[in-house]
Amino acid sequence: MNVEELNKIARAMVAPGRGILAMDESHPTCNKRFEKLEIPTTEPMRRAYRDMLVTAPGLSDFISGAILFDETIRQKTLEEIPFAAHLGNLGIIPGIKVDAGAKPLAGYEAEKVTHGLDGLRERCEEYFDMGARFTKWRAVITIGEGLPSWACIEANAHALSRYARISQEAGLVPIVEPEVLMDGSHSIDRCYTVTELTQRIVFHHLKNQGVALEGMVLKPNMVISGTEASARANVNAVAEQTIRCLMNTVPAAVPGIAFLSGGQTDQEASAHLNAMNSSGRSLPWTLTFSYGRALQQTAMQVWKGDRANVLPAQQALLWRARCNGSAALGSYNEGMESQAA
């Protein structure tokens, strides 16, 4: 494995003021979001939607990389350019989701383990040839009564580390995504405990598998109250607890951390990232975004599957990208949101 080359790609993925567009929704997730807006759940509509995203003028000012789904990396834009080549031409690094989804964990049916290691080496080689330069694998950890189990964290951490090593051997920077879900009424303190434990175990396994930390990007959840929590922690508390957790678990060799949004509102996702980057703390890694919903949800609502809405939808995407690009530099403020209106 060429660690120097992996490190170069990883650093470009987390370059100052830019972040990653997660547009790798699997068919079930994408179709569910389309159905809510009465958009036909067809292959041409998914192509048209993703074309709208990647042809937004100025996208590369704030977006360093885009995570594609298997269907998309095999498709062409409406101008008949392969999606990966189109992104590369813009200076946006193409990436690919390589996991096969989270499935019930045997013996622990309330929890999930991510599948996809079978045939992964061959798929990574194929994706590299198609132009991808990074990969993503997402594990989900649920907080609940007696959850998560040790078995769930261990199984997911092991799979993440095996995936990361295989990806690096194919010349692809792995995004390691252990997501502790926001679902539930848990407190921010409970989220801290579970997130810290999960990240500790993930890095233990990454070490065991010989993953080069310089050649990976971590995509974690923020430390945050559950969506149903009675008293929700404020922006500063989320920023402080998240930084404390990362300082306790993430080695300085990791070039960057790109957060998922996990169901936060657009504004929350920007405000939390901004608070971390304007805290005045000197941090060993770059903190940026790898948002799916917090970049796309407004744009999809504006687009609604109608070609006539492409421009305003692209403006909505660009606006979130700009806000998050500013948050990655610690220069976002709520006043920016009224400018958008």
Q: Which residues contribute to the site for ligand 5MM (CB under 6 A)?
A: 22, 24-26, 29, 101, 138, 179, 260-262, 291-294
Within 10 angstroms of residue 199's Cβ, the number of other Cβ atoms is 23
State in angstroms the smallest separation of the CB of 308 from ligand 5MM: 25
DSSP string, 277-341: HTS----SSEEEEEESHHHHHHHHHHHTT-GGGHHHHHHHHHHHHHHHHHHHHT---THHHHHH-
> Which amino acid would we find at residue 24?
D
Beta-strand runs (E) in 203-250? 217-218
Active site residue 304: no
- Give the 3-state secondary structure of 134-196: EEEEEEEECCECCECCHHHHHHHHHHHHHHHHHHHHCCCEEEEEEEECCCCCCCHHHHHHHHH
Q: Which member of 25, 97, 112, 177 is catalytic? A: 177
What is the crossing angle of helices 235-249 and 266-277, to 10°? 60
> Which amino acid would we find at residue 249?
T
Give the residue carrying structure tokens 């678990």.
249
Q: How far from 97 is each of 18, 132, 133, CA to CA, in Å?
A: 20, 10, 11
Active site residue 177: yes
Most distant CA atoms of the chain, gap in Å: 52
Q: For ligand 5MM, which is the closer residue by CB, 101 or 144? A: 101
Sign, Cα dihedral of 39, 44, 49, 52: negative
State in angstroms the smallest separation of the CB of 262 from ligand 5MM: 4
State in angstroms the smallest separation of the CB of 97 from ligand 5MM: 6
Token pair of 161, please? 């580390």
Q: Which member of 25, 111, 219, 268 is catalytic? A: 219
Token pair of 129, please? 């040839």
As annotated, the active-site residues are: 177, 219
